[in-house]
Homo-oligomer: A and B are copies of this chain.
Amino acid sequence: MKPDMKSLALACREAAVAVAALGPAAKRDLLLDMARRIEADAAGILVANAVDLRRAEGSGISAAMLDRLRLDPERIAGVARGLREVAALPDPVGQVTHRDTRPNGVLVERVRVPLGVIAMIYEARPNVTVDAAALCLKAGNGVILRGGSEAIHSNRALAALLGDALAAAGLPRSALTLVEDLRRETMVELLQLTDIVDLAIPRGGEGLIRFVAEHARVPVIKHYKGVCHLYVDRHADIELALGLLIDGKTTRPSACNALETLLVHADIAEAFLPRAAAALAAHGVEMRACERSRALIAQARAASEDDYAAEFLDLVIAIRMVDDLDAAIAHIRRYGSDHTEVIATGDEGSARRFVESLRSAVVMVNASSRFSDGGELGLGAEIGISTTRLHAYGPMGLEALTIERYVLRGRGQVRHPRTPP
């Protein structure tokens, strides 16, 4: 009989105590050993991946999904490189983020400690198995990995190698627990293990994320989608704005930090929109625009309400002319997803008001939305992006997998001193 979800999670929690006690060097060596083992057994991983690919092809899976599922020697090398990059990052555990001596002489420190047990829920891409495990372990946590059924053979092969590295370091394999029972009800059980699982992070399509949010009783950090806006202000430099538009829309349209909607101030529309349309068309981008914009863009079809709320994840962009900054802000508040918004402007007042009026996780002045990424922001690596306004907001790195607690040191201070007897 297989162990049930709760027993697996309890074992992971127990093992997490051992991971939390590891020093920086031990964690670095562990991840480097994982990288070596993955390179050494690339052939075995590819064999397992081939099984997944064969089954997926038979099931009529989409070409994009098939691509995400596929491993090849280059991708495996990338996975090992990712492990080495995480190994090289500064260890967040034990960092003192605040230090203060109180008037009574008690030293108060805030110190980063691991969260405990993190459950990752994800879909096709087997490299998430390794990336997520590396980040969670580096931050001193136990990790429960629940990947998609289409990648189960690949995930099993990868998790077994990572587990070998744990065992070789004298750590319990259960510090990294791959869930092999992929029934939905088992996932729901995992998501309801309050007091055992400290955080669930879903990564994948909006359907999966909504399912997790709906069923979880443990804390969840998530983002549903990235409906990112570029607002071209009347004071924008047109060349600069064109650069942000093309970079934001065309360099990786499937990314959540790609642009979905272009808002243009009416005063600059005549100068900007025809050039923007020509550049977008040259990159094969389909345009869906408001009536006023269409007067300036021959090739645009009419935008619907739905287009302004859409995350196209494709070479499609919604376009709207607005009368002023306030109208742009109102549009973003209404249709945005709190992910990433950009203003192109030469006016400091407009920039400030744009930044202060929007509550999105990442707001930029004259920079590409594609910088909304853990690596680009200097976090070293990214476990996900949060549009949940709690704990972490925006790209999440190692620090988001820890929590600050208080450590006090005194010399016997008490709150109500008494005169000695």
Chain A residues at the B interface, C-beta cutoff of 8 Å: 20-21, 100, 102, 106, 108, 113, 115-116, 194, 198-199, 213, 219, 237, 239-240, 243-244, 246-248, 251, 344, 351, 355-357, 359-368, 370-372, 376-378, 388-391, 393-395, 403-416, 418
When chains A and B are docked, how far (Å) is the Cα of A247 from the Cα of B413? 9
What are 10 pairs between A and B in contact, CB < 8 Å?
A21-B357, A106-B367, A198-B389, A219-B219, A344-B412, A366-B412, A367-B409, A368-B415, A371-B408, A390-B391
Does A407 lie within 8 Å of B102, measured CB to CB? no
User: 9 new A-B pairs (CB below 8 Å) besides A219-B390, A243-B414?
Assistant: A102-B378, A108-B377, A113-B359, A116-B359, A246-B418, A363-B408, A365-B407, A367-B413, A395-B406
Question: Which B-chain residue is minimally distant from A369 (CB atoms)?
Answer: B415
Q: Which residues of B contact A366 (CB under 8 A)?
A: 409-413
Q: Which residues of B contact A412 (CB under 8 A)?
A: 237, 239-240, 243-244, 344, 366-367
Does B363 lie within 8 Å of A247, measured CB to CB? no
When chains A and B are docked, how far (Å) is the Cα of A246 from the Cα of B113? 30
Most buried by B among A198, A363, A403, A405: A405
When chains A and B are docked, how far (Å) is the Cα of A418 from the Cα of B368? 13
Q: Which residues of B contact A355 (CB under 8 A)?
A: 407
Q: Which residues of B contact A391 (CB under 8 A)?
A: 390-391, 403
User: How many copies of this chain?
Assistant: 2
Does A393 lie within 8 Å of B404, measured CB to CB? yes
Given contacts A240-B412, A362-B406, A406-B363, contact A108 B378 (CB under 8 A): yes
Question: Which B-chain residue is minimally distant from A236 (CB atoms)?
Answer: B412
Q: Which residues of B contact A108 (CB under 8 A)?
A: 377-378
When chains A and B are docked, how far (Å) is the Cα of A183 from the Cα of B245? 51
Given contacts A21-B356, A390-B198, A410-B364, contact A371 B106 (CB under 8 A): yes
Does B247 lie within 8 Å of A389, measured CB to CB? no
When chains A and B are docked, how far (Å) is the Cα of A405 from the Cα of B391? 11
When chains A and B are docked, how far (Å) is the Cα of A419 from the Cα of B113? 46
Min C-beta distance of A385 to chain B, whole Å: 11
Does A219 lie within 8 Å of B388, measured CB to CB? yes
Question: Which B-chain residue is minimally distant from A239 (CB atoms)?
Answer: B412
Does B410 lie within 8 Å of A367, measured CB to CB? yes
When chains A and B are docked, how far (Å) is the Cα of A115 from the Cα of B388? 10
Question: Which B-chain residue is minimally distant from A213 (CB atoms)?
Answer: B194
Does B359 lie within 8 Å of A414, measured CB to CB? no
Of B388, B403, B414, B415, the residue contacting A389 (CB under 8 A) is B403
Q: Which residues of B contact A106 (CB under 8 A)?
A: 367, 371
Question: Which B-chain residue is minimally distant from A364 (CB atoms)?
Answer: B408
Question: Which B-chain residue is minimally distant from A110 (CB atoms)?
Answer: B394
Question: Which B-chain residue is minimally distant from A365 (CB atoms)?
Answer: B409
Question: Which B-chain residue is minimally distant from A101 (CB atoms)?
Answer: B378
Min C-beta distance of A212 to chain B, whole Å: 12
Does B247 lie within 8 Å of A367, measured CB to CB? no
Most buried by B among A106, A357, A404: A106
Min C-beta distance of A243 to chain B, whole Å: 5
Min C-beta distance of A8 to chain B, whole Å: 20
